Copies of this chain bind each other. A is one copy, B any other.
Amino acid sequence: MNIGDVAERTGLPAKTIRYYEDIGLVTPQRGSNGYRVFRDTDAHKLTFLGRARQLGFSIDECRDLLALWEDRNRASADVRAIAKGHLDDIESKIKGLVAMRDTLAELVRDCAGDHRPDCPILKGLEGP
């Protein structure tokens, strides 16, 4: 498989796949013409990476998950620890965003949004 084929199969842009090779996440072989040659295992790895990235795992977390995925003697506790850590990150991000949204929604709600200059949003940004 060339990079275009694997890009289509995995849904990842070719650029991303090259980047993943750069940082050592996949190691495709090379054909005599210099083209990357991907085997099925490479495609599977990339699918795995794509899904992990979709779930918001960082590249470093993906690297660790990938290592565990390929380790038949792994302990599921190690996988779970990474996922749980990331889950906590997401939760706190959500909390931050919800707080932002609530504050902002209140300001937007109170703003007339007409031709007049008087604006509670700007007032809210001035100070507490």
Contact = CB atoms under 8 A, between A and B. Distances in A.
A117 interface: yes
Interface in A75-128: 75-77, 79-81, 83-84, 86-87, 90-91, 93-94, 97-98, 100-101, 103-105, 107-108, 111-119, 121-122, 124-127
Contact of A104 (B87, B100, B113, B126): B87
Report copies per complex: 2
Contacts of A103: 55
Contact of A115 (B71, B77, B112): B77
Interface stretch (A14-22, A23-31, A32-40, A43-51): A43-51
Interface residues of A, number: 53
B111 A55 contact: no
15 contacts: A48-B126, A55-B103, A55-B104, A68-B122, A69-B122, A74-B117, A75-B116, A76-B117, A77-B115, A87-B101, A90-B104, A91-B101, A93-B97, A94-B97, A94-B98
Given A75-B114, A75-B117, A90-B100, 13 more contacts: A56-B100, A56-B104, A65-B125, A69-B126, A77-B113, A79-B122, A80-B113, A90-B101, A90-B104, A93-B97, A94-B94, A94-B101, A97-B97
